[in-house]
Amino acid sequence: MTPLTIKHLAAKASFASIVIAGVLMSASSAYAADSDRDGLPDEWELAGRYGSIDLRGNGVRVGRPDVILFVGREPGLAADTPREQLARLKRFFSEVPTRNSDGSSGINLVIIDRGEMPRDIGGLPYTDPRTREWTIPLEWRGYAHGYFLANGTGGGGSSPVCSDWGGSGYGWQLVAHELGHQLGLGHEAFGDSKPSPLYASLMNYTLDVHNLRFIKLLKS
């Protein structure tokens, strides 16, 4: 994957309008009672806890999409280093202009920091399934997403075998992009087979920041 060059996403709406579709597409069919269709059973959301995760304390509730993201840090990457970037990532999802069934908007991204990986695991490439197994607890596999945070800001990618796993540097845009893939998004807009420099999305490699002014003019 080529590192993203877009430093500021001026139009969230294009990413936002389809990311919720990705959340719905990732929903598990194992439980019928999932009224907000975010892949988390209502039973868990109402109970406020599943496994070792305090769902209620992390704002998880019925009526708004919640996405659980387990993060494993490469050895040597201290918790404080990516903290600001992860906070920005969480804010990005919260500002997605979705219309939720409970009257709210946005997606609640819950980031669970699993800590630094042991060196025998963290020294492996993120594509090695052992990095995923260490990061995502067994009881959460199939419901949550996972990410290998590398000690840097460079690019990464998605797992070729596990749709709930990826890795990159800790820049929030990189993580948002790869998490978008986990939620079912491609580089092109839905319905298109070719990239467009006018598709204002963080998923789009061909978007030039200079085109955002033109896009804004067209919308006005």
Please report whether residue 163 resides in a domain. Answer: yes
| pLDDT, block means (10 residues), the chain with 220 residues | 37 47 48 83 96 96 96 97 96 92 95 98 96 97 96 87 94 88 73 59 60 49
Please report whether residue 214 resides in a domain. Answer: no
Domain holding 69, by residue range, is 13-207
Please report whether residue 8 resides in a domain. Answer: no
Domain count, the chain: 1
Tokens of 123: 């020294």
What's the pLDDT tens digit per position in 5-54? 333 333 344 455 445 445 544 444 444 589 999 999 999 999 999 999 99
Please report whether residue 142 resides in a domain. Answer: yes
**Strand ranges, E, within the chain:** 49-50, 53-54, 66-73, 108-116, 145-150, 157-158, 165-169
pTM score: 0.80
CA distance 95 to 53: 24
Please report whether residue 4 resides in a domain. Answer: no
Please report whether residue 118 resides in a domain. Answer: yes
